[in-house]
Structure 1
């Protein structure tokens, strides 16, 4: 996909990767960039800077997503690219117990990291199939392909998000709907800083800026790759994981021990 001339929606667009995507799409000549975020003021600031429009949106609300899609399709005739980008992190409260997160934390992770993608797809797919074309980009994480030490909720929900995106690609690829998942490792965002900054196992291969990730997205969309990997080493790690799962798990345990010892 060439984003020039396209109508694009980005959820979680007020900051971080989402804001960088909005800026990059505008620079590339998108016809309209809709910045959606639960932080309405932040969305408005990004939209004003790029000449887009802002929407206050809680991605947990499927009816609100459906209403947004219906409004945009009525006004513009289509949504070419829907970027379901909003996400939440959070570590295990007890780093020695992978089941220590509360039910509320699990539910929030499920609603934002998985069901938001479902709500978005449910809303946009009928129009895309009717036109015979459309694109869905779901921001996931390398944690969905590998894992994230110290955050069972994040790892589990991101794995589920990968599974759903695969289902979308399999079911609707022949109908003209393309699907990509964005799976970076460490990115310099508020989520990373809240999780302890760069000194985390997911950041060992370098922390990218959101703008660098956005550049990778432009390249990945142009090539229409399912996996968009701003950290290319993730593909090697995936290959090692599938080649010998037990060995990979052992390596992850050793990495966890080293990180714990380092404080």
Structure 2
């Protein structure tokens, strides 16, 4: 997809990767960029900067998502590209216990990292199918393909997000609806900074949100399902698929290195 002259919606667009994507789509001459975020003030600031529109919205609210999509389609006639980018990340409170996060943390991550994609797809796929095509880009994470040490909630919900995107691509591909998932490792955002500069996902280098946005433009142009700003992720994924037990052993060794302990 070439985003020129396209109507684009970006959730989680007030900062980080979402804001960088909104700016890059505007630079690529999108017809309209709608910046969506729970932080309405932040969304408005980005929209004003790029000459777009802003919507204050909680992506976990399915009814509000459906109403927003209907309003945009009514005013602009279509949504060509929907970027479901909003996400949350929490580390394990006890890094020696993968099940240590309380239920409320699991539920919040499920609502944002998985169900927000479901709400978005439920709202946009009927119109896209009726028009004979459209594009959905879901921001996931390399953690959804691999794992994240010390982040069981994050890894689990991101794996689920990958599975849902695969289902979207399989079910709706013949309707002309393209699907991609964005799976970076370390990106210089507030989420990464919460984990500290020594977090495992930063070992292969930390990219800027603008660098990730450039990868997205290239990935959309090629219509690749996997958009991998960190090229190493494909190699790791192939190793995982090739020998799951060996990969798990390697991850245990990496965890020991990160934790400053010794692996068994």
Aligned to 2:246: 247
Q: Return the alpha-carbon distance in structure 2 between the equivalents of residues 162 and 132 of structure 1.
A: 24
Aligned to 1:214: 213
Deviations 1:159-215 (A, max 9, x none): 00000000000000011000000000000000001122x211111000000000000
SS in 1 for 2:179: strand
Q: Return the alpha-carbon distance in structure 1 between the equivalents of residues 137 and 188 of structure 2.
A: 20
Deviations 1:207-230 (A, max 9, x none): 000000000000000000000000
SS in 2 for 1:13: coil
User: Gapped runs of 5+ residues in structure 1?
Assistant: none
Q: Return the alpha-carbon distance in structure 1 between the equivalents of residues 230 and 245 of structure 2.
A: 24
SS in 1 for 2:204: coil
* Aligned pairs (5 A) from 1:125-144: 125-144=125-144
Deviations 1:19-53 (A, max 9, x none): 00000000000000000000000000000000001
What TM-score results when the alignment is normalised by the length of structure 2?
A: 0.98
Aligned to 1:232: 231
| Structure 1 segments (4+ residues) deviating >6 Å | none
SS in 1 for 2:186: coil
**1:146 aligns to 2:146 (yes or no):** yes
User: Gapped runs of 5+ residues in structure 2?
Assistant: none
Aligned to 2:257: 258
Q: CA RMSD in A?
A: 0.6
Deviations 1:129-159 (A, max 9, x none): 0001100000000000000000000000000
Q: Return the alpha-carbon distance in structure 2 between the equivalents of residues 195 and 32 of structure 1.
A: 35
* Aligned pairs (5 A) from 1:45-194: 45-194=45-194
Q: Return the alpha-carbon distance in structure 2 between the equivalents of residues 202 and 152 of structure 1.
A: 14
Deviations 1:38-75 (A, max 9, x none): 00000000000000010001000000100000000000
Aligned to 2:200: 201
Q: Return the alpha-carbon distance in structure 2 between the equivalents of residues 192 and 42 of structure 1.
A: 19
Aligned to 1:25: 25
SS in 2 for 1:83: strand
Q: Return the alpha-carbon distance in structure 1 between the equivalents of residues 192 and 89 of structure 2.
A: 9
Q: Return the alpha-carbon distance in structure 1 between the equivalents of residues 142 and 192 of structure 2.
A: 14
What TM-score results when the alignment is normalised by the length of structure 1?
A: 0.99
